[in-house]
Amino acid sequence: LPISNISKQMIPKVEAYHKRKLSDKFFCVYLDATYLPLRRETFEREAVYIAIGIKPNGHKEVIDYCIA
């Protein structure tokens, strides 16, 4: 499959991930960012912000992320 077809198939899944309901409470939430090289109109480094939650049992979960 061409990359564009794979991307089109993933868009609804990514949107559903961003809109999902969080089922658990978190003991702690970490917010962080890293810069990754991304190719859009130009080749630039863009920030990827991520929220990671730690549950009371110690398990970590990616709550959400955003490319900005």
Q: What is the pLDDT of residues 15-68, one digit of tens each?
A: 999 999 987 789 999 999 999 887 777 778 889 999 999 999 999 999 999 988
Q: Are 47 and 30 in contact (CB under 8 A)?
A: no
Spatial distance between the Cα atoms of 45 and 41, rounded to a whole number of angstroms: 12
* Sheet containing 28-39, strands listed edge to edge, beginning at the edge strand earlier in sequence: 28-39, 43-54, 60-67
pLDDT at 29: 95
Q: How far is residue 26's CA from residue 30's CA, in Å, rounded to a whole number?
A: 10
pTM of the model: 0.73
| pLDDT for position 26 | 93
Statement: residue 1 has pLDDT above 70: no
